[in-house]
Amino acid sequence: MAGSRWIPLESNPEVLNTWAQRAGLVTSQAQFEDVYGLDPELLAMVSKPVKAIIMLFPISDEYEAKRKDEDEALKKQESKLDPTLFFIKQTIGNACGTIALIHALANSDIVLAPGSPLANFIDQCQDKTPEERAKLLETTEIFANIHADTASSGQTAAPSADEKVELHFTCFVEAPTKESRNTEAPSGAQRLVELDGRRVGPIDRGPCTDLLNDVAKFIKERYIAGSSSMQFSVMSLGPPAH
């Protein structure tokens, strides 16, 4: 399956929850929901505590240039993040939705059904590099099936696997540093981390005291500012909305 392309996932909570439930998430305890806006009154409507954020954003030439420059700089730095943070590279075209979902669920305090596809995959990925995990995903057919079934279940007609898509999913979680992992976490020890399988590794986006609000601030400053596109969507993972 190396070099293969999947059908892109639609960005809506129903699709993400269908994928997550098929993969093993116990959705009676955690689900994805829409974040309708990044202003305080709309963030207040989101079920809490938020465990992860998935964002769909437009890829532009400007973004790609910044991404490449940032990745080159990151290659020269030693990461201070907890090394147990789960990260997987993306090697399958249009699989960014599945990669973001794996990042969100593997790095959150959620319940996976024992023996489920994702629980087994995470176990098999222990002691593997991000590249080795990507190879394992390429050969784990059940995830290709879950992705394909979910991609065709959206509210709009799914594009073909070969269609050029200029939208991409990324994930944000909260994680400790190496130093604070096994100690009483001092102020600023928790970090906002961006997980994107196209990047060189997990990216430290600064201190994290409130995941939802910190992600909202970061998205507004780093992704939306200066962009004329309206093709952004944000979804949170947290308790089921009532």
Q: Is residue 2 part of a domain?
A: no
Instruction: Assign residue 120 the CATH number of its domain.
Output: 3.40.532.10
Q: At what angle do helices 96-106 and 141-151 cross, to 10 degrees?
A: 110
Percent of the chain at pLDDT above 90? 79
Q: Is residue 62 part of a domain?
A: yes
Domain coverage including residue 107: 13-238
Helix/strand/coil for 175: strand
| β pairing state of 191-195 and 203-207 | antiparallel
Q: Is residue 3 part of a domain?
A: no
Q: Is residue 27 part of a domain?
A: yes
User: Which carries the bigger pLDDT value, residue 241 or residue 88?
Assistant: 88
Q: Is residue 6 part of a domain?
A: no
Q: Is residue 151 part of a domain?
A: yes
Q: Is residue 73 part of a domain?
A: yes
For the chain, the domain total comes to 1
In which band, very low, low, confident or very high, does the pLDDT at 39 lie, cut at 50, 70 and 90? very high
What are the residue numbers of the active site? 96, 168
Q: Is residue 5 part of a domain?
A: no
Question: Would you state the structure tokens that stand for residue 49, as one six-digit string?
Answer: 């505590």
pTM above 0.75, yes or no: yes
